[in-house]
Amino acid sequence: MIKIRKEDGGRAPADKGRGRDTRPARGGAPVKFNKRPSQPESRRDAAGDHIESSEDFADKSADVAQHRFTDISEIDAQILRLLEKRSFLIRKEGAWRKSRQKSLVDPKLEKLLRGSLDQTASDLGLDAKLARSLFTLLNQFSLADARKKFTGDGYKLAPRVEPLEAAITGPRSFRHTRMLLAMAACAGARTTLAPVTMNAPNKDLAKALKQVGAPIHWDDDFIRNDGGRTLGFEGTMVFVGEDSFNFYLLLALALGHAGRCKFTGKPGLQLMDIAALNKVLPSLGARLVPMNPSNPGLPARLECGGVMDKTITLPGSLDPDLAAALTLAAWTYRDGLTIKGLGPEARERVAEAVAVLTACGIQAELSGDTVTVRKGTPAIEDAPTLPLSVSLCGLLLALPIMSGGSINIQGSWPMNDKGRRVLDELTGLGLRIDTATENLIATRVADMPRGAVITMGSDPDLLPLALALALKGEDTVLQGADETVMELLDRMGAAYEQTEQGVAIKPGGRTWEGTWYSPSPVWSMGCALAAYAVPGIILENHGEVTSTWPEFWNFYNSLPTGKMKPKPVAEKKDDTRRRIKIR
C-alpha cells in the first residue's frame, strides 16, 4: 500500500544555534545534524513579515515537484504490476478455453468484470465513458502478444565499413502492390503480381479478398488473381489482419455493394476509433457499427446501399489512408466520386492511388486539395510493373554514403514527388545515381558536405533513413525529429541541440550501451544503417524485420559483396518408388 504524503516539501524552521544539535532521539542516542551552509540575511517588509526570495521559492518548487514525481511514479509502477498480473490471469483463462475448443474470451466473465468496474468507477466518482475505455484497454493488454522481459544478448549491429560492390532485387512498394491486387480482384481481371515480398500486409489482403470471392493464389514471390469472378460482400465476415490500410481498402470496395457485411481483425484494430468514420460514411449511404460495445473498433458491421453523394469533404482528423482507399474504389460507385479537403499527407497518399488508377485506364485527377474519379472499367495488365519501395530502397541507396562504393538495385524507381525528393537529397549528400528503366545504380563520388540539412526526416516513413545520414555527417541538422530520434541520440551519447531549423547534431565520440526494443521494422533497418556511424547498436526484436522484408538481414550480413546465402531447397519426395507386395 502506498502512503501519500500530506505535506509536500514543507521544511522545519531553521535552528538558530550553530554547530551540533544533541537533542535525544527516540532511542536515546544523540542525533548529529550537519552544519547548514550560511543563508543570506532574511528580508522583511514594513510589517516585519518575512519576504521569500526567488531562490527560496525555486527550492520549494523543486522539492514539491520531486515529491510529486516520487509519489506518482510509485503509483504508476504499482498500476503496471497489477496490470501485468491481470493480463496473466486473463491469458491463463484464454489458454484453458482454447484447449477445449472455445473462444479465447468468456462473454459471461467479461460481462461480470465490466459491470464490476463500472460500479467501482461510479462509487469513486470517475467518468463512466473513460472507465469503459479503460476496460477495453485492459483487455487489449491481455489479448495482445505479451512482450517478455528481455534476457538475451540481443542482435549486435557492427557492419564491415568497406566499399560496396553489391547488387540486389529491391523490394516493391507494399501499398502499390495491394492497390493493384484490390483493383484486379474487384474488376475480375486475370493478373500476376511479381516479384512480391510476401509479408504480413500483402498476405493478409490476399486472404481477405479470397474470403469475399476473389480467386487468388500466392507463393513466395508472386500473387495471382485468376479472374473471372468479382467480389461479393453480402453476408460475409472478413478478417483484415492488423493493417489499417487493408481494412480501409476493403471497406471502400464494400461501399459499392448494397447489403451488410462484417469486418474483424487483430487486437490492434480493435482499438481503432471507427466512430470517426461515421462522419463521412453516411454521405456515402453507409454506416459502421461496432459489434462489441466495449471495443471502439473491430469487429464491426457495415450497412450500405443508400444514396451516395457525388462530392464529399473529408474532416482533417481522418486517417489519410482512408482518403487513398476511397479514391481507389471510387470507380466502382454509380457516379464516381469527388473528394475535397485533402491535407498534405492525405494528398500524398491519394497521389499514389491516382497513379494506380491512371495506369489502369480510369480517369482520375488530383488538383490542390481535391481529387475526382470517374466511373469506368479498368484495364489491368497481365503482368504489371511494380515500383520499388521508396522507404526501404532509400535505405539501400544510402549504403554507399555510409561505407563507400556502389550498389545496383534491380527494379523501377517511382518518379513521384516522394521518389524525386529522395533522389535529389541523396545526390546532394555525395551520391551519383544512374537511373534506368529496370534498375538504378548509386555510387559515392564525394563526401557528405559539412553542415548538411537533412530534410527528408519530415516524412515519418523516411525518418530512420534521415537519422542515419545525420549521424554520418558533421554538424548536420535533422528536420522532423521525434521522441524515437531523441531516445536514440541519448542512448548513443550524441551531443545535439534544438534549433529553429531542427536538431543540430554535434561532432564527438558516440558509444552504445544496453539493448533497444525497436518500435517498428523500419526503425530496426534504420539502426542497421546507423550502425555504420555508431557501431555496436544492439536490438532486442530484430526478428520482426523478417516479417516485413524477409531477405534484409541475409543481404545486410553479406555486405560489402551482397552475395546472399541461397534459400534452403525443400527435399522432394521420390515419387518413382513403388511398394511391391511379396506373397
Query: In angstroms, rounded to a whole number, what is the distance separating the alpha carbons of residues 173 and 164?
Result: 24
Does 10 score more than 50 pLDDT? no
* pLDDT (0 to 100) of residue 25: 43
What mean pLDDT is reported for the chain? 84
Query: In angstroms, rounded to a whole number, what is the distance separating the alpha carbons of residues 104 and 96?
Result: 8
% of residues, the chain, pLDDT over 70:
83
For residue 62, give the C-alpha cell: 523543486
Does 428 score more than 50 pLDDT? yes
For 293-351, what is each residue's pLDDT tens digit?
Answer: 767 888 999 999 889 999 999 998 899 999 999 999 999 999 999 999 999 999 999 99
Under a CB-based contact definition with an 8 Å cutoff, are residues 166 and 407 in contact? yes
Query: In angstroms, rounded to a whole number, what is the distance separating the alpha carbons of residues 165 and 17?
Result: 79
| SS percent in the chain: helix, strand, coil, step 5 | 40, 15, 45
Compute φ and ψ for 305, nearest 5 degrees: 130, 0
Integer-rounded Cα radius of gyration of the chain: 30
CATH, domain range 174-373: 3.65.10.10
So what's the architecture of 67-143 in CATH? Up-down Bundle (1.20)
For residue 179, give the C-alpha cell: 492497390
The CATH 3.65.10.10 portion of the chain extends over: 156-168+388-558, 174-373
* pLDDT (0 to 100) of residue 3: 45
pTM of the shown model: 0.74
* pLDDT (0 to 100) of residue 270: 80
Query: In angstroms, rounded to a whole number, what is the distance separating the alpha carbons of residues 500 and 474?
Result: 18
* pLDDT (0 to 100) of residue 7: 44
For 401-413, what is each residue's pLDDT tens digit?
Answer: 999 999 999 999 9
Query: In angstroms, rounded to a whole number, what is the distance separating the alpha carbons of residues 297 and 294?
Result: 9
For 106-130, what is each residue's pLDDT tens digit?
Answer: 667 877 887 888 888 888 888 887 8
Count Cβ atoms within 10 A of the Cβ of residue 208 and give its class: 0-12 exposed, 13-18 middle, 19 or more buried: buried
* pLDDT (0 to 100) of residue 581: 63
Does 93 score more than 90 pLDDT? no
So what's the architecture of 156-168+388-558 in CATH? Alpha-beta prism (3.65)
Compute φ and ψ for 424, nearest 5 degrees: -65, -45
Q: State whether residue 265 is helix, strand or coil.
A: coil
The single-letter DSSP state of residue 330 is G
Cis amide linkage into residue 566, ω under 30° from 0: no
Lowest mean pLDDT among 13-22, 49-58, 425-434: 13-22
CA distances to 74, 129, 546 from 521, rounded to whole Å, are 33, 35, 8
* pLDDT (0 to 100) of residue 340: 95
Assign 565 a pLDDT band (cuts: 50, 70, 90).
confident
For 214-229, what is each residue's pLDDT tens digit?
Answer: 999 999 889 999 999 9
* pLDDT (0 to 100) of residue 356: 95
For residue 352, give the C-alpha cell: 499514389
For 24-68, what is each residue's pLDDT tens digit?
Answer: 444 444 444 444 444 445 555 555 555 555 555 566 777 878 888
For 348-369, what is each residue's pLDDT tens digit?
Answer: 999 999 999 999 999 999 999 9
* pLDDT (0 to 100) of residue 570: 53
Query: In angstroms, rounded to a whole number, what is the distance separating the alpha carbons of residues 211 and 229?
Result: 13
Lowest mean pLDDT among 77-86, 182-191, 386-395, 472-481: 77-86
For 132-184, what is each residue's pLDDT tens digit?
Answer: 778 777 777 766 655 555 556 789 999 999 999 999 999 999 999 999 999 99
Query: In angstroms, rounded to a whole number, what is the distance separating the alpha carbons of residues 558 and 399?
Result: 13
The single-letter DSSP state of residue 130 is H
State the number of CA atoms in the 13 A half-sphere of 191 facing the CB. 26
* pLDDT (0 to 100) of residue 576: 57
* pLDDT (0 to 100) of residue 552: 94
% of residues, the chain, pLDDT over 90:
56
The CATH 1.20.59.10 portion of the chain extends over: 67-143
For 443-459, what is each residue's pLDDT tens digit?
Answer: 999 999 999 999 999 99
Query: pLDDT: is 84 or 519 the higher one?
Result: 519
Cis amide linkage into residue 560, ω under 30° from 0: yes
Q: State the maximum Cα–Cα separation within the chain, in Å, rounded to a whole number.
A: 125
